[in-house]
Chains A and B, each alone.
Chain A
Amino acid sequence: DAGVTQSPTHLIKTRGQHVTLRCSPISGHKSVSWYQQVLGQGPQFIFQYYEKEERGRGNFPDRFSARQFPNYSSELNVNALLLGDSALYLCASSLTGGASYEQYFGPGTRLTVT
């Protein structure tokens, strides 16, 4: 079975632009979470979606938004990009959004903002 897939692998954008990152969860998984990993740091939680509804949000500005589609894939959108948004963006899927919470991570999208 395929693992979590993310696209694109790498992306270079200019300050002020908008970006959309995509994620497909493991087949059968209904929850998708997004994390930002700045170089040298641990991942930071951005959003969790379960059954197409937002179930959790981390401490990120409103420039960050996401959605989950009926097939459980997800998009992360970032508006008005800042240099500080440069990071590895990780998507993780899990069976549910509850206590089992064993998350499986994708390879990430490396975003560079210049």
Chain B
Amino acid sequence: GNSVTQMEGPVTLSEEAFLTINCTYTATGYPSLFWYVQYPGEGLQLLLKATKADDKGSNKGFEATYRKETTSFHLEKGSVQVSDSAVYFCAEGPHSGGGADGLTFGKGTHLIIQP
């Protein structure tokens, strides 16, 4: 079946550092791609998404570009804040043409930002 691989954590950075969390997927075709974030004590929240190749999703200073040629959807942020500390999940969904299967998630990357 399909799988999503993301970098192991925890990732510890200083405030204002540049962030990259790698994510690759194995699905063939053109799945929709997502980043979800889980803040301490809270539920999963959609951070950003992209539904076709070369699309860039962005939200709250985070960006990720759908790269079909490398089957990747890496999450980036230019200057992280302490409030960005959370667990980040990369996920793939059905192809843009539809489908009823659920999201396939990576294992999550725990991000810790130190002041």
Interface residues of A (CB under 8 A from B): 33, 35, 40-48, 50, 55-56, 58-59, 90, 92, 97-99, 101-108
Contacts and interface: CB of A to CB of B under 8 A. Distances in A.
A97 B93 CA distance: 11
A50 B100 contact: yes
Nearest to B36: A105
B74 interface: no
Nearest to B105: A42
B43 A105 contact: yes
Given A45-B102, A99-B97, A107-B42, 10 more contacts: A42-B91, A44-B105, A59-B1, A90-B43, A97-B100, A98-B100, A99-B51, A102-B46, A103-B103, A107-B43
B32 A101 contact: yes
Contact of A41 (B45, B94, B107): B107
A56 B32 contact: no
Nearest to A97: B100
26 contacts: A33-B103, A35-B103, A40-B107, A42-B4, A42-B89, A42-B105, A43-B103, A45-B102, A48-B102, A56-B99, A56-B102, A58-B101, A58-B102, A90-B43, A92-B44, A99-B32, A99-B51, A99-B94, A99-B95, A99-B97, A99-B99, A101-B94, A105-B36, A106-B43, A107-B42, A107-B43
